[in-house]
Amino acid sequence: AQKVTQAQTEISVVEKEDVTLDCVYETRDTTYYLFWYKQPPSGELVFLIRRNSFDEQNEISGRYSWNFQKSTSSFNFTITASQVVDSAVYFCALTFGNEKLTFGTGTRLTIIP
């Protein structure tokens, strides 16, 4: 079965703390793509990052960083020095050799000022 699991339903942290959002996936495919999207209260899904299964290099973009580990089938997302504007629902998603995105159930992140 092909599946994306985001075990953390809700997380609350105080502003300026670091926070990591977990994503675990299952697939038998050797080629696949991983994504993170942000859904703020306005509702629109905002693309954050895409990785392919052959590139395990971690990536940093400003306060955001991603840790992709094929050995544990995980693609975790860390926000450093969180800000109130980071409050949103975050979705991990994958394409398994086709064009459809399979999403996890999301993690609601609340940053407390």
Q: Is 64 in the site for another protein (CB under 8 A)?
A: no
Dist CA 44 CA 65 (whole Å)? 22
Q: Secondary structure of the chain: what % helix, strand, coil (to 5)?
A: 5, 50, 40
Cβ 95 to another protein shortest distance, Å: 5
The residue type of 35 is: F
Helix (H, G, I), strand (E, B) or coil at 87: coil
Out of 45, 67, 74, 80, point to the residue binding another protein (CB under 8 A).
Answer: 45
Out of 25, 37, 75, 77, point to the residue binding another protein (CB under 8 A).
Answer: 37
Cβ(101)–Cβ(89) under 8 Å? no
CB nearer another protein, residue 6 or residue 82: 6
Site for another protein in 79-108 (CB under 8 A): 91, 93, 95, 97-106
Which residues does 100 contact at the CB level (< 8 Å), separation at least 6? none
Q: Is 57 in the site for another protein (CB under 8 A)?
A: no
The residue type of 60 is: I
Residues near another protein, by CB under 8 A: 4, 31-33, 35, 37, 42-47, 50, 52, 91, 93, 95, 97-106
